[in-house]
């Protein structure tokens, strides 16, 4: 049976905070078990890393000014989006979709305004290397509780051809990002031929039901009951290679 436990009571995270220590203390009442998965929002990782940017410090480039006219977005924000991106995928009024430097496709390079600051010009960038953050938390928490605790770092993304945002894994450690189910039998004995399971994304999305999108104040969720192979995974392995991307 799958169980999800919200991690509540954490203070507002500030740059330089010992996130592993704070999460360890918050987890203790739940008595983490071997195989549990901790899902953590990318936002608190970014806050601990000090990934705040003041748009008043940004000078838009010519390219940013051009795209700002097309998208009707703040040119300073557009410049920051370009700095965080590899390529622009789509630009239209109210829309700027890019391939983020971490490889995933998202609106506005996943730059966040919500629950960041009372100053409207302060925004928050994605963590520098969320797979590394996940690995550090996985090692620290597994050591603290003497059990295997996988970690998934989650962010909210939209999806091509479907409305609504969902939680997706942007950092993974201690479990597969994608699990290969080829060769497993179905109910009638047929061996699966082309089945890769987006396991980390499934866990991330389930946890998002408790994490929420607004003023819920839940920055992490402990997920219990997930079955997964004990190999080192990553969010990088989830990114579809360019030569297999039919939607580019």
CB 172 within 8 A of CB 37: no
Q: Given a cut of 90, is residue 126 above it in pLDDT?
A: yes
* Per-residue pLDDT tens digits for 192-234: 566 677 899 999 999 999 986 544 478 999 999 999 988 889 8
Kindly state the average pLDDT of the residues 126-143. Answer: 97
pLDDT at 196: 74
Q: Given a cut of 60, is residue 248 above it in pLDDT?
A: no
Band of the pLDDT at 187, cuts 50, 70, 90?
low
Residues 61-84, buried b or exposed e (16+ Cβ, 10 A)?
eeebeebbeebebbbbbbbbbbeb
Q: Given a cut of 70, is residue 246 above it in pLDDT?
A: no
Nearest-angstrom CA–CA distance, 128 and 131: 9
Distances (CA, A) of 32 to 64, 109, 194, 208: 47, 34, 34, 20
pLDDT at 186: 61
pLDDT at 189: 63
Running DSSP on this structure, what letter comes out for residue 203? Answer: H
pLDDT at 67: 96
Residue listed under structure tokens 């450690």? 173
Q: Which range has the top average pLDDT, 86-90, 187-191, 193-197, 215-219?
A: 86-90
Band of the pLDDT at 182, cuts 50, 70, 90?
low
pLDDT at 215: 44
Q: Residue 107 forms beta bridges with which residues?
A: 97
Closest CA to 226 of 151, 141, 139, 142: 151
Q: Which residue has the higher pLDDT, 56 or 245?
A: 56
CB 99 within 8 A of CB 167: no
- 3-state SS, residue 95: strand
* Per-residue pLDDT tens digits for 135-173: 999 999 999 999 999 999 999 988 878 888 899 999 999
Report pTM: 0.91
Domains in the chain, ordered, with CATH?
3-51+126-239 (3.30.1330.100), 53-123 (3.90.1660.10)
* Per-residue pLDDT tens digits for 10-56: 888 999 999 999 999 999 999 999 999 999 999 999 999 999 999 99
Residue listed under structure tokens 């953050």? 133
pLDDT at 183: 53
């Amino acid at each position: 049976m799958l169980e999800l436990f919200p991690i509540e009571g954490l203070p507002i995270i500030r740059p330089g905070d010992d996130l592993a220590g704070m999460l360890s203390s918050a987890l203790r009442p739940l008595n983490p078990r071997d195989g549990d998965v901790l899902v953590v929002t990318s936002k608190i990782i970014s806050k601990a890393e000090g990934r705040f940017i003041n748009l008043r410090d940004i000078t838009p480039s010519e390219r940013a000014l051009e795209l700002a006219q097309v998208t009707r977005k703040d040119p300073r924000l557009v410049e920051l989006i370009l700095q965080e991106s590899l390529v622009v995928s789509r630009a239209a009024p109210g829309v700027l979709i890019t391939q983020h430097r971490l490889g995933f496709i998202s609106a506005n390079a996943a730059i966040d305004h919500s629950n960041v600051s009372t100053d409207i010009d302060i925004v928050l960038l994605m963590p520098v290397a969320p797979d590394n953050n996940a690995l550090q938390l996985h090692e620290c928490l597994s050591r603290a509780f003497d059990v295997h605790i996988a970690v998934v770092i989650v962010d909210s993304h939209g999806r091509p051809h479907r409305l609504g945002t969902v939680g997706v894994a942007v950092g993974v450690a201690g479990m597969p990002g994608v699990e290969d189910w080829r060769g497993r039998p179905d109910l009638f004995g047929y061996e699966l031929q082309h089945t890769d399971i987006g396991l980390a994304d499934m866990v991330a999305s389930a946890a998002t039901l408790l994490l929420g999108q607004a003023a819920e104040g839940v920055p992490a969720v402990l997920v219990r009951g997930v079955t997964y192979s004990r190999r080192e995974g990553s969010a990088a392995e989830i990114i579809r290679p360019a030569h297999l991307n039919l939607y580019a």
